[in-house]
Structure 1
């Protein structure tokens, strides 16, 4: 049995919790419901929380304010949570911004808005082609050495960018690489990213293991997605693509039913195990109901035969449509 994963020198659960959905919906979720989800996650051992400086529809900083309220209401959680917060985006223009002054402003803002003096992981959301990596990473090094952040996380980057980061920063400064990985997002195993992480012992924080809810089987048609929901913008959720992508969900449901688990549980388990020997993947799922949190944190292990059966399905299936839409798609794997 493998040892528990560590992030920023701290032990975390084998599954992490993404917080964007709490403030990324077109409606307001009461704190009582949010805090119940966060507490359930901690109770189940999922103490790696992933937030963002721009995770809000009404106010981009809503997720930071939410965390501040949570830690004030539950101060006992402060020492339990391993917190990752991403920045490095100009959310007005939806473009990367990794200028040194912008990153300093973001880190200071994250600390102030969350009410913390230290963030375990600081993540740059997308590679900014306008700013040399050396300039951006100098800020990361500065704040790690000042004791304000514990480590650095790259996000949606190429294998070459990871290699360059390892030349600029000490390996111990890099806690993980955050990438989308799921049954319909397997590019990291084809573009060299997974192999670089394996070679250097870098864990992958695998966000959207449920394909933003699609792989859970909760949607039967594109019309099921609520008005104002960001997923209505994504290529794979478009009516012309939806039915084709639903074929994967139906095939996965058959395996889940045979095993006696839900499609969500199977999808999360697959991500956790798909790296094989020497590569640690930590699925980072999102949920807004404590029952969903509990469901996704039920320990599930897939046999070699079950993994092989799923792999055969994936070899015969190609998702229709990009992971995002338009210009957002062009920012991936830079």
Structure 2
């Protein structure tokens, strides 16, 4: 069954049904030149994808998504008020260590604001992961002070449990909750996260709605993944798991073909029907335009897809290793 439609207002601003993830435009192993990336971002905005999600650790320190955003808004200052910007931080990607302390959060927000240099406000700031050493009430309390100081517009949460959402929301209203949600990762629909967000009226943001490229149909065998691509190290792309997971891709392809749609379009439409705002990433204008086109899914379609999900379980963890331990805290 489809869930309620995703809310269309975040941090007091209207947002489109599909957003844009900036991670793909700042990949260190395959960076996109800023003029090209800006065209992709402009196309997203022109097609209604005005919720943009970036991070201090998307890309190397000298060329992360904040630098890209600075470049974009320097060249398109008229778009600053049109975009709802969500930034993740308070996380050291070198050690995979979150820092949810008031000092760490304040330093991270300060760094982001310094890079943006006034070209765009931060509508939402979220700690990229929950710091298990710091109570969530302390982290949210620090963020609430930054809201009062008008350094950020609202507070987001990333990869949290339903209980953490409730504890955080009791301290300060939460503007958005970001989790991985796709046909390959349906955990938020079963662990109470989606239900809690809908109950509390918190918009649910779905990253990796096409499952890190699985649901583009681009990868049909392990060798299709480029040598320097980080996906070669993720559990779900390893030999053995790959073959099992590709069965789901093939099954979804058949449904997409029936609708005259791409697999990615069908995958994004399914996420929307779960009451979430998908934020697919892309490095090409034509893909952004494609991702913003909805596919009308019927209740029969949704039941058929659920049958596939039940019959074809996904093999492998989402990240593996240290990353996996920081999920759903």
Give me the TM-score of the superposition, normalised by structure 1. Answer: 0.94
Q: Which position in structure 1 is the counterpart of 2:114?
A: 112
- Residues 191 and 19 from structure 1, CA distance in 2 versus in 1: closer, same or farther, beyond 3 angstroms? same
Q: Does 1:289 align with 2:284?
A: yes
- 1:154-165 aligned at under 5 Å gives the runs 154-165=157-168
Displacement of 1:115 in angstroms is 2.2
Gap change, CA 1:91 and 1:98, over 3 Å in 2: same
Q: CA deviation at 1:13?
A: 0.3
Partner of 1:153: 156
The residue number in structure 1 matching 2:138 is 135
Q: For residues 24-79 of structure 1, what are the alpha-carbon distances to aligned partners after superposition, in whole Å with 9 as ceiling and x for unaligned? A: 141331222101100100010000000001101x4375211111111101111111
Q: Which range is displaced more, 11-20 or 195-204?
A: 195-204
- CA RMSD for the aligned pairs? 1.5
Q: Quick one: higher RCO (CA 8 Å, sep 6+), 1 or 2? A: 2
Distance 1:88 1:60, change over 3 A: farther
Gaps of 5+ in 2: none
Instruction: Report whether the alignment pairs 1:95 with 2:90.
Output: no
SS in structure 1 opposite 2:220? Answer: coil
2:6–2:17 CA contact under 8 A, matched in 1: no
**SS of equivalent to 2:153:** strand
Change (3 A) 1:13 1:180: same
* Aligned-residue offset at 1:233: 1.4
Q: TM-score, normalised by structure 2?
A: 0.95
Name the counterpart of 2:311.
316
SS in 2 for 1:328: helix
CA distance in 2, matches of 1:131, 1:299: 41
| Aligned positions of 1:48-67 closer than 5 A | 48-56=51-59, 58-59=60-61, 62-67=64-69
The equivalent of 2:128 in structure 1 is 125
Distance 1:194 1:28, change over 3 A: closer
Separation (CA, whole Å) in 2 of partners of 1:45 and 1:289: 16
CA contact (8 A) 2:55 2:65 kept: yes
**1:22 counterpart SS class:** helix
* 3-state SS, counterpart of residue 154 of structure 2: strand
On the 8 A contact 1:118/1:147 being kept in 2, the answer is no
**Residues of 2 paired with 1:187 and 1:6: CA distance?**
24
Shift of 1:225: 1.1
Looking at structure 1, the residues matched to 30 and 266 of structure 2 have their Cα atoms a distance apart, in angstroms, of 29
Q: Which residue of 1 aligns with 2:267?
A: 267
Give the SS at the match of 1:70: helix
CA distance in 2, matches of 1:232, 1:22: 19
The corresponding residue for 1:196 is 196
1:143, CA displacement in angstroms?
0.8
Could you list the runs of 5+ residues in structure 1 that have no partner in the other structure?
275-279
Q: Which runs of 4+ in 1 moved over 2 A?
A: 1-4, 58-61, 115-118
The aligned residue for residue 295 of structure 2 is 300
Q: How many residues align?
A: 325
- Residues of 1 paired with 2:298 and 2:317: CA distance? 30
The reply on whether 1:47 has 2:50 as its aligned counterpart is yes
Distance 2:141 2:89 in 1: 16
Does 1:30 pair with 2:52?
Answer: no
Query: Aligned partners of 2:238 and 2:167: how far apart in 1?
Result: 37
Q: Secondary structure at the match of 1:196?
A: helix
